Structure 1
Amino acid sequence: MLAMATDTDTLTLNILLLGGPQSGKSATGNTLLGSHEFESRPSLGSVTQSCQLLGKTFPRYLRRQGGEAALSVRVLDTPACPHCLLSDGDVQRAVGDAVARRGRVHLVLLVLRADVPLCGVDRHAVWLAQELFGPEWTTHALIVFTHRDTLERAGAEEEEYLRRASGMVRELLDSVRLRHHFVDNSAVWLRTEGKPLLDKLLDLSRQNKYRELPLKDSF
C-alpha cells in the first residue's frame, strides 16, 4: 500500500506520473528510480497500456530527526491521456482504481516534451488530474519537461525556451507556482540525472508537510 512510512529511518514518497502519448512518462519513472524497469521506447502509439507501480529505496539519502534516513520512492506509471486505444474515461477509471487500491499519492508529475513546439498544452492530462484530485492537485504538482538533450543540441536555454511558450503553457506553470524541471531521459547515468529531480520533489513534499493527496469523493 502506498503510504508515507512511519519509521523515522525511512521516508516514502509516492509519485504519480501523468502525460500524453510519447511524452516520456515511463522514461521519467526510470530516471527517478535510476534504472530501466519501466518499458520505454519510441512508438507510433502509446506504449504503456496499464498502470504499473515500481519502487526503490535509496539508503542514507537525507537527514531526519537528527539522523540519517532512507528515501523510499514509489512511482506509479499510467497510460497516456489521451490514449490511442482507451477513452479518457477508461484512463481515468484505471488510474483512479490504481491509486485507490495502492494508497494515496504525495506528488503529481505532469510530463511534457521539450523537443516539440510549446504552442499549446495537451489539456487531457490536466483534465485527468483535476478529475481525480480536484484543484488541490496543483499544490502537489511539478511539471517535468523531457528531452532536454534536444534543447542542448539546438543551443537553446531552458528559461528562454519557456519565455517563448504559449499562454496556455505559462498559465499551467503559474498554476503550479512555476515548479518545473528539465530532464535528459537518455542520460547514461540515470541516478545522477534523477537526483536533482528527487531533491525538488522531496522539498515540495516537505512544504506540504508530507500530506497525501486524496482522491475526490465523487470518483
Structure 2
Amino acid sequence: DAQHLSELRIVLMGYRAAGKSSTGNTILGSEEFDLKTSAQCVRRHGEVADRHITVIDAPGWWRNKSVKKSPKKLKQEILLSVSLCPPGPHAVLLIIDVDDRFKEDERKAFQGHLNLLGKRVWSHTIVLFTRGDYLLDTSIEQHIESEGQDLQWLLDKCGNRYHVLNNKNRSDDTQIKELLEKIEQTVAQNNGCHFEVDRTILQKVVGGK
C-alpha cells in the first residue's frame, strides 16, 4: 500500500504552452509560477493536504520538434531540474494539453527529452492532462483511444499512470489530493525510492559536453 509522505518533490516537464506553470499553481493552490515562458527552471514550495510540496517547473521544448533541434541550454535545464529538489523528485509529471493533437512528432519529442535523464526516469513518470474541462462529455479513456498509438505508447512507457486536471477549477481540491496519492503510489511501485539522475549524465551536462 502507498504510504502517506510528509514531503513530495515534483518536476513538471513538457512542451511549451501545455500548461506547466498553471499546473504548478493548481498543485500549490496559489499563484506561485509566472505564466510567461522561462528559459530556466523555477522552484516553488507550499503546504498542501498535510504535505510539504516542492514543485520544479522545467522549461518547455517546442511541441513537435525533436530533441536534436532543442538548444543545449534547454537540455541542460531539463537535466538540472531533477537535481534542484535534492535528493531527487518523487515523480516527473509529463504535461499534455488535452486539446492538443498528439502524434508521432509529439511522441518523439517526449521520448527524446525524457531519455536525456536516462532510461530509469520512466518508472517515475505520470502523464498529466491539462484543460480537462475541454473533454466535456468524453471520458479520458475515450480521448486516449481516439488519439491513437503514439499517446498510447507514451502511457505504456509511463506504466499507464495518468491523471486529468482542470486548471480552471481551482476550488476542486479532490483532483490535487488524488494526484498526490497517485504520486505516492508511484513511489511505492519504486520500492519507496525517488528518482535520482545518474551522476555521470549530470557531470557531462554541467561540464557542457
Q: Specify whether residues 204 and 146 from structure 1 end up closer, same or farther in structure 2 by C-alpha distance, changes over 3 A only.
A: same
Pair 1:127 & 2:107 matched = no
Q: CA deviation at 1:119?
A: 3.3
Summarize deviations over 1:169-201 as a string: whole Å, max 9, x none.
111111112111111111131634322211211
CA-CA distance at 1:215 after TM superposition: 1.3
Matching residue of 1:215: 197
Q: CA deviation at 1:118?
A: 2.9
Letter in 1 for 2:24: G
Letter in 2 for 1:73: I
Query: Distance in 2 between the 1:190 and 1:52 partners?
Result: 25
* Residue number among 4, 8, 12 corresponding to 1:13 in the alignment: 8
- What is the aligned-residue identity percentage? 25
Q: Which residue of 2 is the match for residue 94 of structure 1?
A: 77
Q: TM-score, normalised by structure 2?
A: 0.82
1:106 aligns with 2:90: yes
Partner deviation per Cα, 1:63-108 (whole Å, 9 max, x = no partner): xxxxxxx421111001112389x94421121232343354222211
Choose which of 117, 120, 123 in structure 2 pairs with 1:136. 120
Structure 2 stretches of 5 or more lacking a match?
203-209
Structure that is richer in strand per residue: 1
Match of 2:205 in 1: none
Measured in 1, the distance between the counterparts of 2:114 and 2:18 equals: 16
Question: What is the TM-score when the length of structure 1 is the normalising length?
Answer: 0.78
> In 2, are the aligned partners of 1:55 and 1:74 still within 8 Å (CA)?
yes
Tell me, in whole angstroms, the C-alpha distance in 1 between the residues paired with 2:5 and 2:96. Answer: 31
Q: CA offset at residue 208 of structure 1?
A: 1.7
| RMSD between aligned residues | 2.4
Residue of 168, 178, 185 corresponding to 2:160:
178
Is 1:74 the counterpart of 2:61 in the alignment?
no
Contact 1:34 1:194 in 2 (8 A): no
SS at match of 1:91: helix
Gaps of 5+ in 1: 1-8, 42-46, 62-69
